[in-house]
Structure 1
Amino acid sequence: MTSPNGTSWGPPCPVCGRLSAGPGPAPCPSCGLPAVGEAALVVARIGATIEELAHDRERLLATLRAAAPGPPGPVAAPVYPAPAAAPLPVHPEPAPAGPAPAGPAEPPWRPPSGPLPPFLADPAPPRRRVSPQEVLLGLGALLVVAAALAFVAVAWTRLGVAFQAVVMLTVTATACGASAWTARRGLRATEEALAAAGAALLAVDLGAAHALGLGGLDAVPPRLWTAVSCAVVAAAGLGLGRATRSTVAWPLVALLAAQPVPLLLLPPEAVQSAAAVAVALAMAFLDVAVVLRLRRVLVPVAGALAALWAAGAALGGTAAAWNGGPLDSWTATVLLAGAGALLPLLRRRPRLAALLPPDRVAVGTGAGVAALALAGALDGTGAAGPVAAAGLGLGLLAVAVLAARAPTVLPALLAAGATLTAAGSAALLVHGRLGALAGVALGATVPAVLAAVRLPAHRPHAVAVALLSPAVAVLLGEQAGRLTPTVAGLLLGIVAAVGFGLAALTSPAREEHAAAGAGLLAGLAGAGTTAVVGAWGQVAIILAVSAAAAGAYGLVSSRRGVGVGALAGLVAACWTAVAGAGVEAPEAYTLPAAAALLVGALPEIRAGVRSWAAEGPAAVVALVPSALVVVAEPSAVRLVPVVVAAAALTVAGTLAHRQAPFVVGTAALAFVVLGRLGPYAPLVPRWLTLAVVGLLLLVLGATYERRRQQAREAVAWVAQMR
């Protein structure tokens, strides 16, 4: 290209931005880019092509919008990928003399917000599939190992032991050497297959040497030789892994072969002792520590092995603490406690932190396992051991409530306290010491009350535990013979009243439901405990106290369902009392129920609803059974009150303009009168009966129209009552 004054120039250098001298092999005088002219020309042509495509796109969009029949909507601006930023020139051209032209500065480019379109997003990684080569290599290695086993098992007796040993060692060395040779050639799958085959052949060699007595090795105890063989395989894998850094099989073989060595070196009788726990914990920490030197692909394997060793140490340690002697018990407890204390320290290393569980889980699990072992150790000290374990657990729970704002020690305190309390209580239950267990249940009230006061978020559960713990203690004391059933029932009734009272005081907070539920359970338990011995009067008292407290709670909280339940409880208390006293009069049962129905209907009566939905059921329950009994079993003592009550209901219904009392009272009066006069009807002379009926018919016929109108008015008057 040539400028107007005759000097040649070219597009800017793609690297430094300096103007090139034109096409040709000359490098850039600023950055040294070879053939800067040709490269700049290619970049410029690509830019021109992109600009031309953008113009074509805009023209196409304009054509499409014009061809669309509907009104154009808002068009979102296209989002393009970030352009490559042009580098600043290393040696910029000298600026021309004179003031620079003023103009608005272009804002810097910013990447678009939001997710990238699908065609710009990174593709999902392909799924790992086994290739045919890997299948062939795996089958080949498996067949080689099978052939070696057959060779050792079948041909060993036909050939000399020394010859067989030389053949096996040669094959093993060849497989290991071939693995190293293929590793240097970059044949990854082949080197892994040969390394696996070499490790398997080495294990076969060691087992065959002991089984067939090579060099007198059959005299070595099998347990010791197995440990030596595993150590040899582990050493070989470690050495070959250092020689060929790219092979994954050798470190894996060394890691797996080293696992059983410590346990195999222990005496058989020490496998269930504290020594085995120490070995398991040491192997778990060794597997965790070796992660710092392992390749990332083997880190999950080491983590799984460490988890297995840790689980075995936890199970073995707790078994030794509960079933072993004093030395093993306390040693296992100390080992588990020390291991739990080391877990947070290991998490300080970033690479180990990704392998270990979170701090809360690790600390809580470690403390819980150590607490379970401690409970076992205390159980072995004598009768006071389980009580001490449960008491220590309750103390730790109380301290956990006080230290709720210390997240570092809170998981350990909670886990240890809960485990000690549960384990100590279970030991007391197994030993049949219900009296001591009642004391533990009563002591659980202390941390529950502290939690209810200091921890608002957990207050509902704490309130329930604080109320149910004394109830459980009372029941356990009654089962242990420390309390009589009547005393236990009264105490449970007091707990029920306290629960409903607390629910009334805390309404409408969240803990009111927990308090009311605990009060209900305590009241039912108290009634059931007293009913076992037939103390029906005390059962009635307990039900009445609980129902009265529940009724007060229902009134305070304006909960109709609670009030209805309280009234039902009071009715049950009355029925229990009169039934226990041997009362058979129906009024002793119907009148309390009618009173409860009337009290429950007070809101409807005040609201002015229809009488059959308000006081009607109470009137029916109070009067109808007594009217039936009066007719069936005539008695002057019952007849007078029934007639007076029926008349009172009729008058009250008439004056208050309420249909249900009027109808029930009138029907009861009519039924009683007819029932009482019915037996005397056969005694009346026949002529008198005929005369009375005739006169009635004559009067009715003479005043038919008037009586008909009066009947209609009476029916309408009764029907329009509420």
Structure 2
Amino acid sequence: MDNSLPPADELVLVDRELAQLDARRSQLLARRAWLLQVLYAPMAPAAAMRPRPPVADSTPRSAQNVLLTLGGTLLTIAAVAFTLVSWGSMGIGGRAAVLFVVTSAALAAPVALLRRSLVSTAESVAALGLALMVLDAYALHRAALSETDGLGYAAVASAVLAGAWTAYGSALSRLRIPLPVAVVAGQLPLPLGVLAAGGGPTAFAWAALVTAAADGAVVLWARPASVRITAVTGAVVLGGWALLTGGWLSLASPWSGAPLLVAGAAVTLYVAWRTPALAVAASAVAGLAVVTAVGGLLRAAVPADWTVPVYVLCALVLASVWRLGATAAAPSVSAGSGTTTAGPRLPRGVRLGLAGAGAGVASLGVVWALPPVVAGLLGPMARTTGVWSGEHAGRVLTSFPATAALVLAVAVAAFAAVPRLWTRCAALVLAWGLLTALPVSLDLPYAATLALQLLTAAAALWVAVRPGPLTRGLRAAEAPAGPTSAGPVLTPPSAGGATPWAGWAPTGTGRQLSAVEPGTVLGWAAYAGGLASALSAVALALDVRGATFLVLGAVLGLLTGVAVLGTDAQRVVAACGAVLAGTGLVVAVAAAGGFEDHWTALALLLVPAATAAVGARTRPPAVALAVEITGAAVALPAFGLAVSRPAFLALALALGGVIAAATAVRPERRRFASWTAAALFLLATWVRLAAFEVTTPEAYTLPVTVPALVAGYLRRRRDAEASSWTAYGPGLAATLLPSLAAAWTDPEWVRPLALGVAALVVTLLGARFRLQALLVLGSVVLALDGLHELAPYVVQAVGALPRWLPPALAGLLLLAVGATYEQRLRDARRLRDRVARMR
């Protein structure tokens, strides 16, 4: 029996089996790839292979706290509503029963809850019990004691509640709420009692201070952090109120405010002594209170102008506690026994706070004394009268207390007594400020004011160049015992000599630290003050003609001395200032002689001439350069003064060129000075031509072109690789381009013809010697000049042609160019390459 299928059916069956095999093969290959990845991939921790549970939005503990807090709050609200709304509908027995049962249950429940370790639940129930006690006190007042004074009852009730909560919290020490709440209730009895008794601000401040002292005791002796934080907050609020009240009373009634301030200072200082973490802040507050108290008492006994000096003196005495404490801590040797004992020592934080308070008050006093300094320095510069009018500006700050000078003097003495660089600098600056403020504070006459300003400038400049005496006695800082691998090596400056100081500037790890000389710092501080005083003296001297000459001469001498004796940087600044002072003298002489502006301009040129001569003999080069630059800058206003007279302007420019040419003889100035001289001579020529009403552009451009081409030729002889654009481009452009612009507007034929010939010659020279600049500039100018000459005829011819002919010619041109585009492109490239190969 033959069971074979027909060929068509068998083919379908084979195709179906093959398709199933292909699908199974794909599945097996995918499974094989996964197995290889599992076998050969790095083994991950088992925990990472397991699926992670979803992250909870809240922890069980936080959810529990939220529920307990919400429950306690709702119960408290219910109790308040019951007390305020439903209380009146019950009899006295019912009221007592409800109060006793509910409050007792709320206070007793935490005991059982704590035994079962349900601390959070106990906290919530205890909070409800504390709130119920407040409601009980309120209900008791409404029901049985309604006729008593509300403030008095509140004071007694808060005291009772504070005691009860303290006992309750102490008995149940695992509860965190009762003790802080007891501290809060303890803030109320004394202030409320004073208000109930009708006490004024002073009695209330004393009550607040006593309460703050009690809070301080809690801070010192209580252990729970929440209790101490609550007590600190209460002490700051009530103690701050007491001290602020004492400060106000020290102004209105010093004998009432002083005891309050002193008592507050004593309490605060004791807390600072016992609590190192609060020592600096607390002792600073105590120091401010003492200064306010003592200063208020002394202020009442002196005139009003002495108010600030009194406070400054008290502050300086307080600031001296720092040094007294350090002295008391020094060891002493017992006579005959050889043993060492240490005197009583204030904690460092306490000393720092007290000294900081005194220094802060003294600094405020110094700031109060600064307006006369500013007026003395800047007043002469705010000119309200004419120069050399003989009149003087009105005095400013006439009502300001003269004791400002005393404050500055005391501050100078205080800073000078401390052997530190910064204090010595402060003393120097304040001494300068004192001398500057004296004319304003003492209302000195004009001559005395001017003399004092000159003396101040002279003294400050002398200190600037000779600061050695001011550096004596400065302490050297203590250096580490030796270098460490983790930090830089410190090498202190020598202890001997006049400049022992420990200001080191790091130059790198493991290397030595370079010392900053105190003489340098003090010198620059004095230098700045000296220059400021000199400038103010010059401004003040402009009131009188003779004073102007005297002060300018004195300033010139002082700055010249600093330029000779000072350090390098000081010499540079002083030299520039001396040049400006000399310029002022020249202007003053010209003004005194009645010179017109153009003659004054010529006189001012004496300054750059003198500086050029002095600069040639001055060393170091930095000073010489500064002197010459300042002198050259003076020439600019000289040229400006001569603008109104072109002939004098040309003369001034020529004289400036002579000075620059003489300076160019020196090798180090040759390049810049020579270009400057050429520019000035050229400007002088142009101004002279303009004065002669010469309008031909070639008269202005050829004096530029000829020397420029000569310079370019010499440059090409020294450097054959130099570009023709650098050597000849500027010179050729200076004449060809202005002449081309003039030729296009010139109706005559002479200039276009001459320009065309010149451009043709330049083009031929460029082609002969293969110079790109000559070839390009000459051909462009020649083409434009020729186009200008052909333009009228082209216009005439175009006008005679039919209107259709120009477009047709343009079309034919475009067709011709398009047909030979590739050839024209190759020709343009070859031309570009040839021109590019030129120099």
If the TM-score is normalised by the length of the shorter chain, which range does it land in? Answer: 0.5 to 0.7
Give the % identical residues.
Answer: 22
- Contact kept? 1:231, 1:258, Cα under 8 Å: yes
Partner residue in 1 for 2:81? 150
Could you tell me how far 1:230 is from its partner in structure 2?
Answer: 0.8
Choose which of 227, 231, 234 in structure 2 pairs with 1:298.
Answer: 227
Report the equivalent of 1:463: 428
> Given the superposition, is the C-alpha separation of residues 713 and 608 from structure 1 closer, same or farther in structure 2, using an over 3 Å criterion?
farther
Deviation digits for residues 626-650 of structure 1 (CA, Å, limit 9, x no counterpart): 987876369xxx98x9999988987
Q: 1:326: Cα distance to partner?
A: 3.5
Report whether the alignment pairs 1:422 with 2:383: no
Which residue number corresponds to residue 392 of structure 1? 313
Could you say if the C-alpha distance between residues 175 and 676 of structure 1 is closer, same or farther in structure 2, counting changes exceeding 3 Å?
A: closer
1:270-302: CA deviations, max 9, x gaps?
776444443333323322322424434433322
From 307, 320, 336, the equivalent of 2:236 is 307
Quote the residue 2:118 is aligned against. Answer: 187
Contact 2:287/2:318 (<8 A) preserved? no
Look up the equivalent residue of 1:143 and give its one-letter code. L
Match of 1:586 among 601, 608, 618: 601
Q: 1:368 aligns with which of 283, 288, 300?
A: 288
Partners of 1:372 and 1:423 within 8 A in 2: no
- Identify which of 206, 212, 220 aligns with 1:278: 206
How far did residue 234 of structure 1 move? Answer: 0.7
Letter in 2 for 1:557: T
Look up the match of 2:102: 171
The answer for the alignment partner of 1:515 in structure 2 is 526
- Is 1:357–2:272 an aligned residue pair? no
Q: Distance in 2 between matches of 1:283 and 1:179?
A: 31
Cα–Cα, structure 1 residues 182 and 474, in superposed 2: closer, same or farther, change >3 Å? same
Q: Distance in 1 between matches of 2:451 and 2:625?
A: 42
* Counterpart-to-counterpart distance in 1, 2:659 and 2:97: 121
Match of 1:134 in 2: 65
Amino acid paired to 1:339: V
CA distance in 2, matches of 1:470, 1:401: 29
CA distance in 2, matches of 1:613, 1:575: 17
Partner of 1:42: none
Structure 1 residues 153 and 661 mapped into 2: Cα distance closer, same or farther (>3 Å)? same
Gaps of 5+ in 2: 1-57, 330-345, 372-396, 468-516, 695-705, 719-839
Structure 1: how far apart are the matches of 2:255 and 2:637?
A: 77
Match of 2:270 in 1: 342
Write the deviation string for residues 440-466 of structure 1: whole angstroms up to 9, x where unpaired.
Answer: 223322223323xx2235433343233
Look up the SS of the partner of 1:265 in the other structure: helix
Residues 306 and 421 of structure 1: CA distance in aligned 2, closer, same or farther (over 3 Å): same
The answer to whether the 8 Å contact 2:111/2:172 transfers is: yes
- Aligned residue in 1 for 2:403: 436
Question: Which amino acid counterpart does residue 437 of structure 1 have in structure 2?
Answer: A
Secondary structure of the structure 2 residue equivalent to 1:220? coil
Measured in 1, the distance between the counterparts of 2:545 and 2:310 equals: 41
Kept in 1: contact 2:107–2:125 (CA 8 A): yes
1:681-700 aligned at under 5 Å gives the runs none
- Asked if 1:378 corresponds to 2:298, the answer is yes
Matched, 1:219 2:161: no
Tell me the residue number matched to 1:233: 161
Bigger mean CA deviation after superposition, 669-678 or 327-336: 669-678
SS in 1 for 2:87: coil
Indicate the SS of the match to 1:176: helix
CA change 1:603–1:161 in 2 (3 A) is farther
- Aligned CA distance change for structure 1 residues 616 and 588 (closer, same or farther; 3 Å): closer
Name the residue aligned to 1:69.
none
User: TM-score when scaled to structure 1?
Assistant: 0.62
1:169/1:296 Cα in 2 relative to 1: closer, same or farther (>3 Å)? same
Equivalent residue number for residue 688 of structure 1: none
What per-residue deviation string (whole Å, max 9, x for no partner) do you get for residues 14-54 of structure 1?
xxxxxxxxxxxxxxxxxxxxxxxxxxxxxxxxxxxxxxxxx
TM-score norm. by structure 2 comes to: 0.54
Distance 1:425 1:655 in 2: 53
Q: How far is the alpha carbon of 1:177 from its aligned partner?
A: 1.2
Partner-residue secondary structure (3-state), 1:245: coil
Letter in 1 for 2:466: L
Structure 2 counterparts to residues 475-494 of structure 1, below 5 A: 476-477=440-441, 482-484=443-445, 487-494=448-455
Distance 1:569 1:218, change over 3 A: farther
Contact kept, 8 Å, 1:387 with 1:428, in 2: the verdict is no
Of the structure 1 ranges 520-529 and 369-378, higher mean CA displacement relative to structure 2 is found in: 520-529
**Deviation string, structure 1 residues 362-381 (Cα, Å, up to 9, x no partner):** 43332123213333343344
Q: Structure 2 vs 1, CA of residues 379 and 344 (structure 1 numbering), >3 Å: closer, same or farther?
A: same
SS of the residue corresponding to residue 89 of structure 2 reads: coil
Distance 1:633 1:327 in 2: 80
2:354 to 399, 412, 426: 412
User: 1 CA distance for matches of 2:457 and 2:530?
Assistant: 4
| Inter-CA distance 564–202: structure 2 relative to 1 (3 Å threshold) | farther
Partner AA of 1:313 in structure 2? A
Root-mean-square deviation (Å): 5.0
Q: Deviations over 1:296-333 (max 9, x none)?
A: 4433322333333333333222122223x243122223
Q: Which amino acid aligns with 1:464?
A: V
- State yes or no: 1:500 paired with 2:467: no
CA contact (8 A) 1:537 1:577 kept: no
1:336–1:366 CA contact under 8 A, matched in 2: yes
Cα distance in 1 for partners of 2:369, 2:572 equals 42
Q: How far apart are residue 244 of structure 1 and its match?
A: 2.2
Supply the distance in 2 between the matched residues of 1:269 and 1:381 (Cα, whole angstroms). 34
Residue 199 of structure 1 deviates from its aligned partner by: 1.0
The question of 1:249 aligning with 2:216 is answered no
Residue of structure 1 aligned with 2:189, choices 252, 258, 261: 261
Task: Call closer, same or farther: CA 1:404–1:394 in 2, change over 3 Å.
Answer: same
Larger deviation: 549-558 or 576-585? 576-585
Contact 1:223-1:265 at 8 Å conserved across structures: yes
CA displacement at 1:557 relative to structure 2: 1.1
Q: How big is the shift at 1:501?
A: 2.1
Q: Which deviates further from its counterpart, 485-494 or 393-402?
A: 393-402
Secondary structure class of the residue paired with 1:246: coil
Contact 1:192/1:248 (8 A) holds in 2: yes
Any conservation in 1 of the 2:429–2:529 contact (CA below 8 Å)?
yes
Structure 1 portions without partners, runs of 5+: 1-126, 682-707
In structure 2, the CA distance between the partners of 1:505 and 1:147, relative to structure 1 (3 Å rule), is same
* Counterpart secondary structure, 1:284: helix
Indicate the SS of the match to 1:447.
helix
Q: Distance in 1 between matches of 2:624 and 2:547?
A: 39
